[in-house]
Structure formats: structure tokens, C-alpha cells
Amino acid sequence: MDRWSCLALAVLTAITVRWTVSLNPYSGAGKPPMYGDYEAQRHWQEITYNLPVKQWYFNTSSNNLQYWGLDYPPLTAYHSFVCAYIANLIDPGWIALNMSHGYESLQHKLFMRATVLIADIIIYIPAVILYCFSLKEITIKQKISVIFCILLYPGLILVDYGHFQYNSVSLGFALWGVLGLSRGWDLLGSLAFCLALNYKQMELYHSLPFFCYLFGKCLKSGLTGKGFILLIKIACTVMASFALCWLPFLADFEQVLQVLQRLFPVDRGLFEDKVANVWCSMSILLKIKNILSPQTQLRLSMALTFTSLLPACVKLTYQPSVKGFKYALVSCALSFFLFSFQVHEKSILLVSLPVCLIINEVPFISTWFLLVSTFSMLPLLLKDGLLLAYVVTTLAFFLVCISFLAIYEKTSEEDLKLAPFFLSIRYYVPWFKVSANVTKSIFLISLVLMAGLTLMIATMFPPSRLPDLFPVLISLVSCTHFLAFLAYFNIVYLLDSKNIKDLKKSS
């Protein structure tokens, strides 16, 4: 089979898996009065189509913000309007103002699922293909294998096609941004990332690496010469793209303030539900929400977030490289997820995307992380009746990674990019060594633990005194993994291969 046939087969398989998952239930199906994220997306279509732009983000008699008020940037609203325009051509009842709340039908479900798939095919899947084909030092066969593994990542499929969201749009734009920067197309990369940020404000998780890489590149070229010209071009591109996205709101400063207030609702608290980050895990022993004021919680989370991501950002600024940029994306996004304010379970997808981008470099750790990231969302997926879809897609992804990436054969110090770190430790402790068998054993324990908790939450009732026992355990186990991954990715990035020569010389 030639390479194009293999690529077509991989993409068609990924599309088939997506559509199969879409046959499952969605968020809030048949659960009034608020229903779920499916209704939120439908309601935004209703609002954007029937109301003037100046009312989209304001509380009015026709737009009750307590009922799934629009709280994403303008590009999401425009996307909702386009979907609504098509929906109105098919059946105006789907988006009838104030009359369609909680609308459910097989025809409408088919339409909504199709909008996700079409956006995926237009934005996300081409970005994955082009990014993987731009990778150097690997064969065409390996590139197609990486494409297949990324497209089968279960977390994104389950949230977009099961739970129901359009994460592939913002993540796709972000990936186009990474592709642009990796190819030296800095202006196109900047434009693409601005589109991602104007689609979902959570793309702020990726913003600092984009800024540090581009600013570092300008510094390297000299801010008194070519670097200054590049900086001006990037700044103009960013301002122009933001101005274009926000154009309908710029005429009235009150409109801008209202949109920003909807995008960043700091009054919601430190965290919601059982998210696998530090704050939720710490609340098991220490009720931070009850001890600290909301303002103190916000300041503390900001301080820890920026302290955690600072080393990677500083290095990227002074040593800009495409490889370092990708690792910094992982580190910064994971820091935001673990320590920032008002994090949702689905935000782990913002970390999973850059991890997918380095799955060819560290396949064992990347696969491990992607499995844990999907597992961390299990309580949310169970609410939507997606247990079978979760099990099948996770097993399929795992088996594909084993078969196509040979992850079990890449657990040595060199394969894990930890040789500089272990070499620096052995400089002081000569006998220190972590064998590949030890790494595999830890991985096996992790898999057994996740499988066990999955079986427990799916088949057992928690004690009446501890109704949230299983979701809390899943969050705690996932958070522990994520802290270890944060340490790993920072070590790999901050101690790159250049340090080996210096350590060998000094020893």
C-alpha cells in the first residue's frame, strides 16, 4: 500500500471513530432545566441569529445570561451564527427565540454532530497532517503513524463528539500557529494563534510560549535591526487580527467591558467540580475556599502559576528554538491547568495538544500522559453516558501507540530524553540508575490503578458518607501524575542535550 493510501486510510478511520462516538448520548440530554453543553451550543446559535450583536453578551428580556449566556470570545459567536444560519434553512424551530430551549430531536442531533465533524475536517485534521509532514528526521511511514495516533487521541474525540463542544476549532487554530512558527512563517503563525485566542480564551494557556518564542527570535535578530522590524510586523498582525475579530464591539467601550467580564468571571471561585488540579486535590485536607478570600485565592493561584512556568519561558526567550517552543507549550499549559484560577476538567485538552506534537520525540511518556488526561475526565464522561465509548477509544488509542510507535521499546534514558538529568545526578551519586524495567513497572502500576478506579466508579456505589469518593480519587491520582509530568517536561527542556558535553568534560 502506497503512502497516500495509508494516509487516507488513517484519516478515514479517525473520522469513522469520531462519527461512531457521536452516536452516543451528549451532555445534558433529557435533563431539564439547564440540560448541558449541547444545549449551550444550540442556545448560542439561537441568540446570535435572533438578536443584534450589541445584545449577545448583555442580560436582556430576550437573553437571560443565567441560561447559558455566551461566555466565549467573538469568534465563537460568529461560528454560532454561521451554524444558526444553516440551521434556520433546515428547520427554524431549532433556533426559535425563547421557544427552542432544550430542543431535542434525532434530526437536530445529526445536524449538531455534523457541524463538529465539518469544523474538524476543515481546521483540525489538515493542521495535524501538515504538521506531521513538516517533521524532519523521520520517514513518511513514521509521519503517517504519528498522524494516526494524534487523530485517535480519545480525550478530544470524547469531549467534542460525545460530551459536545468545538475544541477542535481553537486547538486547530493553535496548531496552525505552531505549524506557521515551525516553518518560519511568523506572521501567519501569529495570525492563526490570534484566531485561536479569539475563539476560546483558554488559549491563554499557550500564549506565553508564543510570545516568548517570537520575542526571543526578535532579540536574537537584534532589536535595532531586523529584529525590530519583525517585532513591528508581528505587533501589527496581532492588533489587526484582534481589531477584525472585535470590530462589531469596538464602537462602544461598554460593549468591550461586558464581553471581557463574560470571558473572565472571577467570581465563580477557585475551581468547580472535581478537576484534577492542585487546588481541588488540596481541598481534600485543606478547604482553601473557606480559609482564604476570593481575592487572595486569585492572587495565590496567579503567583504559583507564573512561578511554575517562569523557568521555561525565560529559557525560551533567550534560547528560542522550535523544539524548545513545543516543550514550553506543554510546560506552560500544564502549569496553568494545575495552578490557575477557575479550571475545568476539559482544560486538560489544552495540555494534550502540545503533548501530541512531541509524541514522535518521547512516545512512551506522551502516550502515558494522553491516557491519564483522558482518565482524568472520566467522571464528566460518565455523566454523559460515555463509559463504553471511553473504554473502547482509550484501548484503541493505546494499542495503536504500542503498534505504530513501539512505545515499550523506547524507555531507555536516551529515549526518554533524561540522559542529561541522570548524568548530572550520577556526577554526585555514581551508583544511581533507573532501568527501563523500572520505568515499565511504574507505567504498569499506573495503568492498573486507572483501570481499577474505572471499574470501581462504573460498578460500585460509594459509601453514603462519601458520595464523591470515586471522583475525588480519580482527581487525586490524575493530579499526582500531572505533577510528575510537569517535573519531567521541565527537566527535559531545561536540561537539554547541550548539557551532556559540559557534564562529561567536568567529570
Residue extents of the structural domains in the chain: 3-29+104-506
* 199 Cβ neighbours under 8 A, 6+ residues apart: 72, 73, 75, 76, 79, 169, 170, 173
Q: Is the dihedral of CA 495, 501, 505, 507 positive or negative?
A: positive
The CB density around residue 41, as the number of other CB atoms within 10 Å, is 22
Residue keyed to cell 481499577: 452
pLDDT per residue of the chain (507 residues) written in tens, 0 to 9: 678 899 999 999 999 999 999 999 999 988 888 899 999 999 999 999 999 999 999 999 899 999 999 999 999 999 999 999 999 999 999 999 999 999 999 999 999 999 999 999 999 999 999 999 999 889 999 999 999 999 999 999 999 999 999 999 999 999 999 999 999 999 999 999 999 999 999 999 999 999 999 999 999 988 888 999 999 999 999 999 999 999 999 988 999 999 999 998 776 667 767 789 998 888 888 888 778 887 888 889 999 999 999 999 999 999 999 999 999 999 999 999 999 988 889 999 999 999 999 999 999 999 999 999 999 999 999 999 999 999 999 999 999 999 999 999 998 888 999 888 888 888 888 888 888 889 999 999 999 999 999 999 999 999 989 888 999 999 999 999 999 999 999 999 998 855 444 334 433
In angstroms, rounded to a whole number, what is the distance separating the alpha carbons of residues 17 and 40?
Answer: 24
Q: Which residues sit opposite 63 in a β-bridge?
A: 60
Helices 294-318 and 469-494, interaxial angle, to 10°?
30
In angstroms, rounded to a whole number, what is the distance separating the alpha carbons of residues 30 and 41?
Answer: 15
The predicted structure's pLDDT at residue 264: 85
* 99 Cβ neighbours under 8 A, 6+ residues apart: 93
The predicted structure's pLDDT at residue 442: 95
CB of 11 closer than 8 Å to CB of 151: yes
* SS (HEC) of 105-171: CHHHHHHHHHHHHHHHHHHHHHHHHHHHHCCCCCCHHHHHHHHHHHHCCHHHHHHHHHHHCCHHHHH
In angstroms, rounded to a whole number, what is the distance separating the alpha carbons of residues 78 and 117?
Answer: 18
Instruction: Write out the three cell numbers for 409.
Output: 521499546
Q: Is the dihedral of CA 232, 238, 244, 249 positive or negative?
A: negative
In angstroms, rounded to a whole number, what is the distance separating the alpha carbons of residues 35 and 43?
Answer: 11
State yes or no: cis peptide before 74, omega within 30 of 0: no
The predicted structure's pLDDT at residue 498: 52
pTM higher than the cut 0.75: yes
What phi, psi does 63 have (nearest 5°)? Answer: -140, 85
In angstroms, rounded to a whole number, what is the distance separating the alpha carbons of residues 72 and 264?
Answer: 9
CB of 226 closer than 8 Å to CB of 102: no
CB of 90 closer than 8 Å to CB of 15: no
The predicted structure's pLDDT at residue 507: 38
Q: Degrees (nearest 5) of the Cα angle 342, 252, 188? A: 65
Q: What's the half-sphere exposure (Cβ side, CA atoms, 13 Å) at 108?
A: 22
Q: Which amino acid is at 308?
A: S
Instruction: Write out the three cell numbers for 237.
Output: 498582525
Instruction: Write out the three cell numbers for 428.
Output: 554526585
The predicted structure's pLDDT at residue 503: 39
Running DSSP on this structure, what letter comes out for residue 99?
T
The CB density around residue 60, as the number of other CB atoms within 10 Å, is 12
In angstroms, rounded to a whole number, what is the distance separating the alpha carbons of residues 220 and 318?
Answer: 8
The CB density around residue 286, as the number of other CB atoms within 10 Å, is 11
